[in-house]
Copies of this chain bind each other. A is one copy, B any other.
Amino acid sequence: MPNEMPLHAVPLTIEGSWMLHLFWRLDRARWAELDRQKQEEIAQQFADACCDTGAQVFSIIGHKADLLILLVDESLEEVREAELKLRKLAMSAYVSVPYSYFSVVELGLYESSLKTYRALGEQGVAPHSEAWDKAIGETLERQREAMAPRLSAEIPASPYICFYPMDRLRGEDKNWYTVPIEERARMMHEHGLVGRRYAGQVKQIISGSIGLDDWEWGVDLFADDPAVFKRLIYEMRFDEVSAVYAKFGQFFVGKRVPNEKVVSILLG
């Protein structure tokens, strides 16, 4: 019976906007050598470039960076050109870039994958056959339409941001990528239930970065109350999928800097 074969392991995903997180650290020794007028001129040019490119600016807490500059656009080319524009500003001679993250908004379709793979299995359609590819293509297309608003990442207007990259564990004993897709779908579903309880307090954007950057996913959370970042992530840590299979990179917390305050946050 075809539906007793193991299901295809790879979950369907659809991609949306491209994202580049740039973390800037001000070189205060050199910056302080400029007089205030020169600082203002350079900072204003930077603020204008943020306007032009649609870059959103956040002030980062602690030593990891001064600013997060978040670039989001429909194509990689737009993101890349915005980055080049920033690199060529006078301001960039006064900063270093201790970290960045490059990714693309991603929706992982575990439930719809299961349904599609089961249906194709019952019909005896072989993975990667022409019929398979056609059916998968249709599912992806349907999902892209249904999810369109979530794929074109609107950065929420909330004042606080929390960003961190993460991996799924590939340990010698516990390995996410060898767990059957039904088990992974169940764990992702339970994980989603926790998130849903925080829906009114936190908005999140998940972006995929396998093949694009050093971790597999980037997570952006947005909230009015930064304590919620801690409560949500602590609660999630007891989910099976996080407790056993999550590896986390650095955590960055910042406060939105509205465009009209970008200059003043840089001045002495």
**Judging by beta carbons under 8 Å apart, are A62 and B250 in contact?**
no
Are B84 and A265 in contact (CB-based, < 8 A)?
yes
Task: Kindly list chain B residues whose C-beta atoms are within 8 Å of the C-beta of A259.
Answer: none
Residues of B contacting A90 with CB < 8 Å?
Answer: 32, 268
Give Cα A178 to B43, complex, Å: 49
Within the assembled complex, what's the spacing in Å between the Cα atoms of A218 and B126?
Answer: 33
* Contact bitstring A62-95, B, C-beta under 8 A = 1, else 0: 1110100000000010011001100110101110
Interface range, A side = 35 or more
Q: Are A10 and B238 in contact (CB under 8 A)?
A: yes
Main secondary structure of the interface of A (DSSP, over half): mixed
**A28 within 8 A of partner (CB):** yes
A24 CB to closest chain B CB (Å) equals: 9
Task: Tell which of B80, B97, B211, B238 touches A234, judged by Cβ atoms closer than 8 Å.
Answer: B211
Given contacts A10-B234, A174-B172, contact A251 B29 (CB under 8 A): no
Residue in contact with A211 in the complex, picked from B94, B102, B178, B230, CB distance below 8 Å: B230
Contact: A233 with B251, CB < 8 Å? no
Compute how far the CA of A250 lies from the CA of B214 in the bound complex, rounded to whole angstroms: 5
Q: Determine whether A170 belongs to the interface, using a CB cutoff of 8 Å to chain B.
A: yes
Chain B residues whose CB sits within 8 angstroms of the CB of A31 once the complex forms: 93
* A residues neighboring B (CB under 8 Å): 9-10, 13, 15, 20, 22-23, 27-32, 59, 61-64, 66, 76, 79-80, 83-84, 87-88, 90, 92-94, 97-102, 104, 128, 160, 162, 164, 169-175, 177-178, 197, 208-214, 221, 226-227, 229-235, 237-238, 240, 242-244, 246, 250-251, 253, 255, 265, 267-268
